Each structure stands twice: as C-alpha cells, then as structure tokens.
A and B are shown apart, each in its own frame.
Chain A
Amino acid sequence: MTSRLEARGITLAYDQRTVVEDLDLAIPDGSFTVVVGPNACGKSTLLRGLARMIRPAAGQVLLDGAPISSYGAKEAARRLALLPQSPVAPDGITVLDLVARGRYPHQSLLRQWSRADEEAVRRAMGATGVAELAERVVGELSGGQRQRVWIAMVLAQDTPLLLLDEPTTFLDIAYQLEVLDLLADLHAGGEKTLVAVLHDLNQACRYATHLVAVRAGAVVAAGPPSEIVDAALLREVFGLVGEVVPDPQTGTPMVVPAGREARRSGTVASTSP
C-alpha cells in the first residue's frame, strides 16, 4: 500500500489545548477513506492537520514523501484540497464565480484564466450537476444544491487528494445519499483519493474502502469496514452497546444499537475506565 498523504507522529493543539497527540495515519492511495468518531474527538482537527491548516506541534505530515510545510501554498493546493465543514459563500457570489475560485492555485497574476481553467470548471460543474445553476446566487440555493456547488469548487481545483469535513451534515437523507453517490462516482473514476468525515456509521461502512475510527484524538482502528467494524469497536469508540449485522442491501457492516435497557446496563460497565 502506498500513501501520498501520511501523518507521522503528529500532535495538534489549539493554543495550549492538545487535541491530537502522537498520531500516525496513512491514507491509502486511491481509497475512499472515511473518518468516524464521537463528537469533539478531533476529526476536524485531524483533517485540518492533514491539509496544513494547523501546523503540528510535533511530528509532520508528508505529502508525496516531503513535509507538507515545505510546499508553497499554491503548490500544495494543486495536490490537495480541503472542503471545510462550514465554508462561507461571500455575499452575492454566483455559482460560477465560486466554482471558478477553485482554480486559484493554477493561476497567476498575469494568467488569471486559461482554457484549462474553463475546462476544469465545466467538468466540475457537470459532475456535480450544477451547470444549470451557473448564474444563480449561492446564498439563495437549497442546502443540497449549495453543498454540490462547494464540492464543484474543490473538484475544479483538480487535485489528486480531496478531503471533505462532514459533507453530508445538515442535509436530509436523500441529499446525503446524493452527495455520497457523487463522491463514490468520483472515487470510482480512479483518479482521486478521498478522505471524508461522516457521522452516520452505516453510511460510512457502505461507502468507505478504508475506515478510520477515532476516539479522543487517537486512531482506534483503521482498515476496510468489514474487517474492523464489530461490537467491540462500537463499544470502544462510541461507548455504544449493540450488534453489527450485514446490511440487507449491500452486505456491508450495519450497526444495530441494543435496546434502551440493555444499553444502559452495558454502557455503565463500559464507560468506567
């Protein structure tokens, strides 16, 4: 297994507050890696660290074998894109203008727009189905449309590595699947390595080729969902009692939490350290 993106012993902290400590993680090339874990366990922090948004207090992130901090801002941005959890659409910006911003790392002061830019934007908007919305104002779109526009922006960036922080949160179930299907299609194209933070474990098991379970800033398990997701992992990562059965539709692991009473007695036992 090769990894263009790799974390080696990274410690990530805000001011004095350490969230991730001495973490090792390799993102397999060509994988659809999904990061799961309870709220506030450090998933976003980890993604920020991988995408050079936070400089590690210790250790380093390697991009194509070199420390990511050794790359110029645009150079790194041509290899790796991050869609943060809550990006801001500037007031009054149109869909086309927003998507076109993804081309920034491919441009320079004297070369602000090229055929390649036009082609990439067209492709990104086509893949995400937002071409018809080109002249609409982003702020006036539905949640699902808006999310597809943001994905179009990072697609236009045309990077081999794409990191997405909770791309499906705040969407209803149909839109969630729509976005996940879109990501799966991108992944199936074979050119991209995807890393996404997802909340729904069952969706994570369906779509991930590589699952990373995080608890309290540490990787508890990593591997194909069918190999690592079981009742013990549920308990360890989420402190949840339940069983894991094959998904009737896809055969991937599916989590069925235990009933209230059983869960209570079980949880009490599992949370005492």
Chain B
Amino acid sequence: MSAPAESQRCRIADTGRPEIHTVGAGPWTVRVHPRAVAVVVGLAVVAVALGAVALTLGDFPLPLSRVLATLAGSGSRVDRFVVLDLRAPRVALALVVGASLGVAGAVFQSLARNSLASPDLLGFTTGAATGALIAIVVFGAGAGGTAVGAVVGTLATALVALALLGGATGGYRLVLVGIGLNAILVAVDNYLILRSDLTVATAAQTWLVGSLTGGDRTTVAVVGTGLAVLLVPALGISRRLDLLAMGDEAAGSVGVPVASTRAVALGVGVVLVGIATAAVGPIAFVALAAPQLARRLTGTTGPGLVAAAVLGGLLLLAGDVLGQRLAAPAQFPAGTMTAAIGGLYLVWLLAREWRAGR
C-alpha cells in the first residue's frame, strides 16, 4: 500500500488489539486486512522470482544475469529470441491463466458456499474442452473459434450442472454431479477425437492435456485482457459474495441484491474458465486449490479474489517449471503436474470434510 493520508484502527472491546483496520483519505475509507496485504505482496514477490528463474530454464540454459540483462534491453539476438519470444510468453501465460482460474475458483466456491465447488470438479473445464473440440473437429475453427467454443462449452456445462443441482450445493452431491458430467464429457471428447483425422486428432490431444508450450504473445494478450476486464465486475461483487456466505436471506437483509450478484458471479466465472481453457487446454485443480490455500494464508473469510489470483498464477507457474525440470529432458505438461499435485490436495480436502462430517 502506498502511504495513504491516514490509517485508522477501530477498537470495540478493550482487548488492546485493533480489530478493524482502515486506510483512507478525505471522505474515503477502505477496509484492509494487514495480513492479507502482506500475504499478497509476499506471493507476488515469489511469483516474480520464480518467473525470473523460469526464464533461465530450458534446452538452452541461461544464467540469471543474462536473463535480467536481456529483460533490461541489452543481450544478444539469440538471448533476446530465447528469453523474450520463447520463454517470456510461456511464463506470462502461466501467470494469467493461473490467475484467471484462481479468480474463477474463488467466485464459484463463494457462490456455492462449498470449497469443492470448483470449475474443474464440476466438469466446467471438461465442458470447455468439449466445446473447443467441437469447434476444432466439427467446424474446423481457428484460435478465435476455439475460444468461442470453449466459452460456450463452459456455459452449457454450468447451466446443466445448475439444473442438476437444483439449488442444492452440499458437498457430496456437488462432487457426484461433477463426476457424472466429467465422465459424459470425456466420452464425448474421445468420440470427437476418434472420428477426426490424424493431424486434427494429434493437435486436439496435445491441447487436451493442458500445456503451456503453445503460448505466444497474442494468446497472452487475449487471456490477460480478459482477466483484466473481468476482474472489474469480480472485484465489484467481491464484498457481496462475502456476505452471501451467511445465506441468501441474511445477505439479502443487509442489502445484497442476491439474484443479480449470483448472475454476475456466474457470468464472470464461466467466461474466465472458458478463456483460460481455450488458451491452454484444461488445467486441473488450480481453481480448486488456489482460493482455499489463499484463504488459509490470509486468514480472511471472503472470496479473497486478489490473493486467489496471485496464488493461482504462482501455482500454475510452479507446475510448469516442475514439469520442465523434474525429469528433464523429458517434459511433463503443466496440466499433468497440477493434476498430480492437486489430486493429493483433493484427497486431503475430502478427508478433512469427511472428518468434519459435512
């Protein structure tokens, strides 16, 4: 936080500890959670550091000093090509896609009041893939058409999931609906790949594992713009999403327009997942884990969109770096890495919910 005019603390009880922190200037006051701010800054620093390290890795290793020099504008033509054209887009793509998924996950989890309600578990990501595959295989679409297909696929899956859930968003029902939808959509994906010719099938298959290798500047720009634009309404309803956790009636009573908040949240979440998936294919578990981990780290109750975004970007970047280095020169796609790590996390989460008897 850059130094605002005045910083205040509210003391209700004489416990000696300030309980509500605000920063403000003139008539403006904004509530802040010091720990959340510290965590977000910390995570951002780690993400930038990891990004710099990622730029040094690959078939053509570069020392950090040369990477930094290249970023600063000097460096040989080869260095510039490797760092700026090959590696930087990939790092940037990991950050923006991960951030998009983190925000979408936070939005969906708040909406459903359920930490399992992430777009990947609910089948939205698979739905995005199916939409994109239909665009590729049936309509022979290019990049733009694929993206539209993915968004439409996400939206259609979300609507089907909502209809199947019928307003119930309790733990296991949600997971079961997700498993069912995922199974059906995977079958459709397989069918689509089987009936297409080899080149298309190979391209589709590569895309289906969720890999960042195809990232170029245009993709980064599209995903980044989508994220920036959608963050505006997402942050706008963040406080309301937080209040919705008390139940529709309690939230409505304090002045949350419940129906419109829901609609905006759903729209924002679906489009974020659609764009991110269209860009790199389905990435598992980032949307599930980032908001949860962010909430634990910040110790706040709300959707924590900014923290979820930063952590989402960091997780996907870490997954991609691990995938490149773990068994080098063999390369694992980022999606495989996040699925492996995220699977463990899901098992832990389910075990915890099970013990809590929810």
Contacts and interface: CB of A to CB of B under 8 A. Distances in A.
Contacts of A230: none
A97 interface: yes
Contacts of B255: 73-78, 104-105
B261 to A, nearest CB: 9
Interface residues of A, number: 46
B15 A135 contact: yes
B250 interface: yes
Given A53-B252, A104-B239, A73 B257 contact: yes
Nearest to A91: B301
A88 B13 contact: no
Contact of A154 (B19, B20, B253): B253
Contacts of A52: 252
A253 B269 CA distance: 56
B256 interface: yes
Contacts of A261: none
Contacts of A112: 22, 29-31
Contacts, number: 112
A131 interface: yes
Contacts of B246: 87-90, 101
A135 B31 contact: no
Contact of A84 (B13, B242, B245, B250): B250
B19 A83 contact: no
A241 interface: no
Nearest to B22: A113
Interface in B1-46: 8, 10, 12-13, 15, 17, 19-20, 22, 27-31
Contacts of A96: 12-13, 19-20
Contact of A51 (B27, B247, B253, B256): B253
Given A88-B245, A90-B301, A81 B29 contact: no
A258 interface: no
A101 B243 contact: yes
A96 B21 CA distance: 12
A84 B20 contact: no
Interface stretch (A117-125, A175-183, A185-193, A195-203): A117-125
A119 to B, nearest CB: 10
B310 to A, nearest CB: 21
B113 interface: yes
B250 A87 contact: yes
A93 interface: yes
A114 B246 CA distance: 23
A82 interface: yes
Nearest to B32: A112
B13 A131 contact: yes
Contacts of A84: 247, 249-250, 253
Contacts of B27: 110-111
Nearest to B296: A92
B145 to A, nearest CB: 38
Nearest to A122: B12
A30 interface: no
A73 B30 CA distance: 21
A93 B301 contact: yes
Nearest to B31: A112
A75 B30 CA distance: 21
Contact of A90 (B15, B19, B245): B245
Contacts of A104: 239, 243, 254-256
A125 B10 CA distance: 14
A97 B242 CA distance: 11
Contacts of A154: 253
Contacts of A90: 242, 245-246, 301
Contacts of A43: none
Interface in B232-273: 236, 239, 242-243, 245-250, 252-257
Interface in A29-87: 48, 51-53, 73-78, 81-84, 86-87
Closest 8 A/B residue pairs (Cβ):
A77-B255, A105-B255, A74-B255, A84-B249, A87-B250, A90-B245, A82-B253, A134-B13
7 contacts: A48-B249, A78-B255, A83-B250, A96-B20, A104-B255, A110-B30, A134-B19
Interface of A: 48, 51-53, 73-78, 81-84, 86-94, 96-97, 100-102, 104-105, 109-114, 118, 121-122, 125, 131-132, 134-135, 154, 157
Given A111-B28, A118-B20, 13 more contacts: A52-B252, A86-B247, A88-B113, A88-B247, A90-B246, A94-B19, A101-B254, A109-B239, A111-B29, A112-B29, A118-B12, A122-B12, A134-B19
